[in-house]
């Protein structure tokens, strides 16, 4: 019996399950002529639907999980821009909250203005191990020059993966988009920079027709270069759901399991980035952890475009609940952050942050 490409299934020993398993499918790019827009789910005249196929994937939380921050990137898209001094102060508090183990591992920055670059430089000059300063760029060679000039080790690269973006926004085919993305990732690798590929709009993307084949190509580049290419699964419009048996593209368990099982992406190279349009942002981030994603991307107090990102303070508490320990985090800093945002920035925080820890 062959797989979808007529190939015979391969048998391999899974060291995690200690079982012999068959690999039936090797997913390749489906370079379709017409976009798959999932109109049965997203028809624009009704509330988006949750479709079930009753397929259940195993829960397998990684040994090590952590938080990354996007307050200075995505977070600033919903507030008045922070000053350099405010960014540096918040950055110091994030380092204090994350503790010696660096459970708040990274913080990402825009690099497009003199102010943003100065803020990133001042945070880097503090010499703190965590959170590591990273950046975000579009899949554009000119943007890549900014990263090189700053001496930043890792950068996020926008690689939109839904047909809404590829066909309707970029006016490309899937093949053209993949070729463009791989070229910019290769450019980063040539400079020894770790690419973090932001799979934009993954909860409206053709998972087996584009997401998995693209991820497979990235993992091939990762093996060839010896550099751990990361994949950020971006629930750009907050369509992700955590329900058991929910179908792709909205299933958070299915997305994380699929990246690991079918594309071979290690847990430590997968990051979840969610939005709160349908009020599931915290639950979806926790679900991503539970099903094999090591990293969840958050912002302080959940600030971010539209309804916001996953609140960083919420995931600090979720970490304690799931791991049974705070692992050295200084949770009292949550109140410091809330006070600072209220008094210095004038941002009214979630009253839940008023809990005295």
Strands 10-14 and 19-23: antiparallel
Question: Which residue's entry shows tokens 């899974």?
Answer: 14
| Structure confidence at residue 172 (pLDDT) | 97
Question: Which residues lie closer than 8 Å to 76 by C-beta, 6 or more apart?
Answer: 82, 110
Residue 166 in any domain: the answer is yes
Residue 59 in any domain: the answer is yes
Contact indicator for 131, 107 with CB cutoff of 8 Å: yes
Residue 102 in any domain: the answer is yes
- CATH code at position 149: 3.20.20.70
Residue 182 in any domain: the answer is yes
Residue 41 in any domain: the answer is no
Instruction: List the domain range (segments joined by +) for residue 337.
Output: 48-354
Number of domains the chain is built from: 1
Contact indicator for 60, 263 with CB cutoff of 8 Å: no
Question: Which residues lie closer than 8 Å to 34 by C-beta, 6 or more apart?
Answer: none
Pick out the chain residues at pLDDT < 50: 1-5, 351-357
Residue 85 in any domain: the answer is yes
Residue 33 in any domain: the answer is no
| Structure confidence at residue 14 (pLDDT) | 82
Q: Which of 171, 167, 143 is nearest to 156 (CA)?
A: 143
**Which spans in 3-125 are helix H?**
84-98, 114-125
Residue 217 in any domain: the answer is yes
Environment class of 250 (CB within 10 Å of its CB; exposed 0-12, middle 13-18, buried 19+): buried
Contact indicator for 251, 51 with CB cutoff of 8 Å: no
| Structure confidence at residue 347 (pLDDT) | 82
Q: How many helices (H) and strands (E) does the chain have?
A: 10, 10
| Structure confidence at residue 23 (pLDDT) | 74
Token readout for 206 is: 């053709």
Number of neighbouring beta carbons within 10 Å of residue 14: 11
CA torsion sign for 205, 208, 210, 213 is positive
Q: How far apart are CA 180 and CA 176, in angstroms?
A: 6
| Structure confidence at residue 356 (pLDDT) | 38
């Amino acid at each position: 019996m062959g797989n979808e490409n007529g190939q015979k299934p391969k048998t391999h020993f899974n060291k995690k399950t200690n079982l012999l398993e068959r690999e039936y499918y090797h997913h390749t790019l489906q370079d379709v002529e017409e976009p798959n827009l999932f109109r049965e789910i997203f028809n624009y005249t009704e509330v988006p639907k949750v479709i079930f196929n009753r397929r259940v994937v195993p829960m397998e939380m990684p040994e090590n999980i952590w938080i990354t921050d996007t307050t200075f990137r995505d977070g600033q898209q919903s507030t008045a821009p922070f000053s350099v001094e405010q960014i540096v102060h918040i950055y110091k508090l994030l380092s204090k909250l994350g503790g010696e183990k660096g459970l708040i591992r990274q913080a990402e920055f825009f690099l497009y203005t003199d102010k943003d670059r100065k803020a990133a430089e001042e945070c880097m000059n503090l010499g703190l191990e965590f959170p590591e300063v990273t950046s975000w760029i579009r899949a554009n060679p000119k943007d890549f020059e900014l990263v090189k000039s700053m001496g930043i080790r890792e950068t996020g690269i926008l690689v939109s993966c839904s047909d809404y973006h590829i066909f309707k926004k970029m006016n490309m085919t899937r093949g053209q988009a993949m070729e463009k993305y791989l070229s910019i990732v290769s450019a980063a690798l040539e400079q020894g920079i770790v690419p973090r590929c932001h799979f934009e709009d993954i909860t409206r993307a053709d998972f087996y027709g584009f997401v998995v084949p693209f991820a497979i190509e990235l993992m091939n580049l990762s093996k060839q270069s010896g550099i751990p290419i990361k994949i950020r699964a971006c629930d750009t419009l907050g369509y992700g759901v955590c329900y058991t048996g929910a179908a792709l593209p909205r299933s958070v368990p299915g997305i994380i399991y699929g990246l690991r099982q079918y594309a071979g992406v290690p847990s430590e190279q997968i990051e979840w980035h969610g939005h709160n349009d349908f009020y599931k942002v915290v639950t979806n981030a926790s679900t991503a952890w539970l099903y094999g994603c090591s990293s969840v991307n958050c912002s302080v107090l959940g600030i971010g475009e539209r309804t916001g990102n996953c609140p960083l303070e919420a995931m600090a508490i979720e970490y304690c609940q799931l791991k049974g320990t705070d692992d050295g985090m200084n949770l009292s800093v949550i109140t410091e952050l809330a006070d600072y945002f209220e008094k210095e920035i004038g941002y009214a925080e979630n009253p839940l942050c008023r809990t005295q820890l």
